């Protein structure tokens, strides 16, 4: 089915968003002609986008075909190690630099997300927006760029840790602790609250993966 596009959206962004939202999942094969039809663009920009995504290790080769990459245990651990430090730094800087309006937006996001607790996919999308808002509140463009790369790789995980029973409600409580610390301008508490939040998410994901292998 062909999707509506706007001239401003390039092929790379369209494919990346499709991976990020789970339209294409780890192991799915990406066919140039199918993508061109789906997004309503010519095959040349699709081909260039696929090459770029392969260079970024978001796609991998399976014979002559390109498939969405997946992360093994070690790669996932490495990704979470980097994410934990960078996210913690973002929270620390947000406690230092965020405007009152940015803090209010973060608080409002938590309240709005309570209505999504029964929908893990919607909650996962909202979770990405919440973390992105903290990144922006750090007011450090270079950190935001690095976190964008990290979160791009997070899309290679087949499931969200928010699908675990009770994880959604607990995650919102952790979000509240992060925002409270940012609101108090307590840099160390904000840093630690976000690090703890990522650590719990990692443990939850490991348990989900272990359960899936039984």
183: domain CATH number is 1.20.120.530
d(C-alpha 162, C-alpha 187), whole Å: 26
Domain co-membership, 155 together with 52: no
What pLDDT, on the 0 to 100 scale, is given for residue 26? Answer: 87
Domain co-membership, 99 together with 187: yes
Q: Is the pLDDT of residue 44 over 60?
A: yes
What pLDDT, on the 0 to 100 scale, is given for residue 4? Answer: 46
Average pLDDT, the chain: 89
For the domain that residue 27 is a member of, what is the CATH number?
A: 1.10.10.10
The per-residue pLDDT for range 121-161, each reduced to its tens digit, is 889 889 999 999 999 999 999 999 999 989 888 888 766 77
Q: Is residue 6 part of a domain?
A: no
What pLDDT, on the 0 to 100 scale, is given for residue 183? Answer: 98
How far, CA to CA in Å, does 64 sit from each of 43, 67, 76? 17, 10, 26
Range of weakest confidence among 9-18, 82-91, 167-176: 9-18
The residues, any chain, with a CB within 8 Å of residue 35's CB and separated by 6 or more, are 11, 15, 46, 50
Domain co-membership, 184 together with 205: yes
pLDDT class of 162 with cuts at 50, 70, 90: confident
Range of the domain at 29: 11-68
Q: How many domains does the chain have?
A: 2
């Amino acid at each position: 089915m062909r999707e509506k596009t706007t001239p401003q959206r390039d092929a790379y962004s369209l494919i990346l968003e499709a991976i990020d939202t789970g339209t294409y999942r780890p192991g799915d094969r990406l066919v140039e002609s199918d993508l061109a039809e789906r997004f309503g663009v010519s095959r040349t920009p699709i081909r260039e986008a696929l090459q770029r995504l392969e260079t970024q290790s978001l796609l991998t080769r399976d014979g002559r075909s390109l498939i969405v990459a997946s992360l093994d245990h070690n790669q996932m651990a490495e990704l979470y190690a980097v994410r934990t430090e960078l996210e913690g730094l973002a929270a620390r800087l947000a406690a230092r630099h965020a405007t009152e309006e940015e803090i209010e937006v973060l608080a409002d996001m938590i309240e709005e997300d309570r209505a999504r607790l029964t929908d893990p996919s919607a909650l996962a999308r909202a979770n990405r927006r919440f973390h992105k808002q903290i990144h922006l509140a750090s007011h450090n463009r270079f950190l935001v760029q690095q976190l964008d790369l990290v979160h791009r790789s997070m899309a290679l995980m087949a499931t969200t840790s928010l699908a675990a029973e009770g994880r959604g409600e607990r995650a919102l409580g952790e979000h509240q602790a992060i925002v409270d610390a940012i609101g108090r301008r307590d840099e160390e508490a904000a840093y630690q609250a976000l690090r703890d939040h990522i650590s719990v998410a990692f443990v939850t994901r490991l348990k989900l993966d272990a359960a899936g292998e039984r």
